[in-house]
Copies of this chain bind each other. A is one copy, B any other.
Amino acid sequence: MGRWEPNARGRLERAALELYLERGFERTSVAEIAERAGLTERTFFRHYTDKREVLFAGSMALQELLVDTVARVPEPATPMDAVTAALGAAAAMLQERQEHARRRQAVIAANAELQERELIKLASLSAALADALRQRGVDDASASLAAEAGIAVFKIAFRRWAGQAGQAGQAGQKDLSQFIGESFAGLKAVTAGT
Question: By the criterion CB–CB under 8 Å, are B80 and A142 in contact?
Answer: no
Interface size on A, residues (CB 8 A): 35
Contact residues in B for A141 (Cβ distance below 8 Å): 156, 182-183, 186
Cα A74 to Cα B104 with chains together (Å): 43
Nearest-neighbour CB distance to chain B for A129, whole angstroms, equals: 12
Interface string of A134-162 (1 = CB under 8 A from B): 00000001101110110111011000000
Contact residues in B for A120 (Cβ distance below 8 Å): 112, 115-116, 119
- Is A41 on the interface with B (CB-CB < 8 A)? no
Nearest-neighbour CB distance to chain B for A181, whole angstroms, equals: 12
Question: By the criterion CB–CB under 8 Å, are B194 and A78 in contact?
Answer: yes
Cα A176 to Cα B108 with chains together (Å): 34
What is the total number of copies of this protein in its complex?
2
CB-nearest residue of chain B to A115: B120
Nearest-neighbour CB distance to chain B for A50, whole angstroms, equals: 10
Interface string of A46-59 (1 = CB under 8 A from B): 00000000000000
A116-B117, A116-B120, A117-B116 as given contacts; A78 in contact with B193, CB under 8 Å: yes
Nearest-neighbour CB distance to chain B for A85, whole angstroms, equals: 11
Partner pick for A186 among B112, B145, B155, B193, CB 8 A cutoff:
B145
Contact residues in B for A146 (Cβ distance below 8 Å): 190
- Is A64 on the interface with B (CB-CB < 8 A)? no
Contact residues in B for A187 (Cβ distance below 8 Å): 145, 149, 191
Nearest-neighbour CB distance to chain B for A119, whole angstroms, equals: 4
Cα A146 to Cα B187 with chains together (Å): 7
Q: A141-B183, A188-B191 are in contact. List 14 more A-B contacts (CB 8 A).
A: A79-B193, A80-B193, A81-B193, A115-B120, A116-B116, A116-B117, A119-B123, A141-B182, A142-B189, A145-B156, A145-B183, A148-B152, A149-B191, A187-B191
